[in-house]
Amino acid sequence: MPELDEVLITKLILDAFKEDFSKSLDLDVAIVGAGPSGVTAAYYLARSGVNVAIFERNLYVGGGMWSGGILFPRIVVQEAAKQVAEEMGVSLRKAAEDYYVADSVESVVKCTMAALSAGAKIWIGFSVEDVVIRPYNDGYRVCGLVINWSAVELAELHVDPVTVRSRVVIDASGHEASIARKLVDKLPRAVLPTDTGGVVGELPMWAEAGERAVVENTREVYPGLIVTGMAANAVFGSPRMGPIFGGMFLSGKKAAEEAMRLLKKYK
């Protein structure tokens, strides 16, 4: 066996990263966050042949799905979302009328694998710190992401970020709704279709209402920007729902459908 060459290993990593990452610089759809809603959206988009990538701040995917409820690694999925979960390969066990239970670790792995196998790209360790805008009608349209290494963000170093172009952006950043918030903070004239015109913030727990709302709230909230998952409920001021995940899967699927519709509009 030849001696292993550390410098060659380094070069192979650099070359492969450059080749693959270059393909994510000009996207149809860029998704912020690899939680259940973002990964589900990526799966349905990639399955339809859309060039889609997720940018995830953590070094791992899955967002809040790993931990089930209070670290008991099981999640609950209701009947309405059974088909979506199973399409991504998640095994569901009927636990009560209309309620199914799944292993949270298996759920993260299967949903992620479904998205990757369909052709989505997932970039970990990247923080999305801003969006790109261009004039559109009387205001602007979101048409890309401004990204930096999460390590740079954590170290609070002054390092200029880089840019990804994207015809549509999906904010799947969870409870933070970090992208919608950034937009209204930076563009005081940006009015979202909410009661306050801004990000309202999520309400306390009410599973039934939260699960219903998360699907209804999944939509374009500013030209080129769709919200999904808990980000959608945070934007519209709807309740949280705890460790029931059907709404996240259904919201991710709806975000993909909305993005497909917008891709016809934003050529």
Minimal distance in Å, beta carbon 11 to ligand 48F? Answer: 28
Size of the site for ligand 48F (CB under 6 A): 31
The answer to whether 248 contacts ligand 48F (rule: CB under 6 A) is yes
The answer to whether 241 contacts ligand 48F (rule: CB under 6 A) is yes
The answer to whether 178 contacts ligand 48F (rule: CB under 6 A) is yes
Q: Which residue number, 65 or 143, has a Cβ lying nearer to ligand 48F?
A: 65
Q: Which residue number, 51 or 78, has a Cβ lying nearer to ligand 48F?
A: 78
The answer to whether 32 contacts ligand 48F (rule: CB under 6 A) is yes
Distances (CA, A) of 61 to 78, 107, 139, 156, 173: 23, 11, 34, 23, 12
The answer to whether 201 contacts ligand 48F (rule: CB under 6 A) is no
Minimal distance in Å, beta carbon 207 to ligand 48F? Answer: 9
Of 86-125, binders to ligand 48F (CB under 6 A) are none
Q: In the β-sheet with 74-78, what is the strand arrangement from edge to edge?
A: 74-78, 99-103, 93-96
**In which residue are the tokens 């891709």 written?**
263
| Residues 43 and 118 sit within 8 Å (Cβ to Cβ) | yes
| Residues 38 and 172 sit within 8 Å (Cβ to Cβ) | yes
Between CA 65 and CA 67 the distance in angstroms is 6
The answer to whether 56 contacts ligand 48F (rule: CB under 6 A) is yes
The answer to whether 78 contacts ligand 48F (rule: CB under 6 A) is no
The answer to whether 55 contacts ligand 48F (rule: CB under 6 A) is yes
β-bridge pairing 162-171 and 219-222:
unpaired
Distances (CA, A) of 202 to 60, 81, 175, 220, 229: 25, 22, 7, 18, 12
Minimal distance in Å, beta carbon 93 to ligand 48F? Answer: 18
| Residues 48 and 118 sit within 8 Å (Cβ to Cβ) | no
The answer to whether 36 contacts ligand 48F (rule: CB under 6 A) is yes
Out of 47, 64, 99, 123, name the contact with ligand 48F by CB under 6 A.
Answer: 64
Strand partners, 162: 147
SS3 content of the chain, % helix, strand, coil (to 5): 40, 30, 30
Strand partners, 130: 146
Q: Which residue number, 12 or 205, has a Cβ lying nearer to ligand 48F?
A: 205
- Residues lying near ligand 48F in the complex (CB under 6 A): 32-38, 55-58, 63-65, 127-128, 172-176, 178, 229-231, 240-241, 243-245, 248
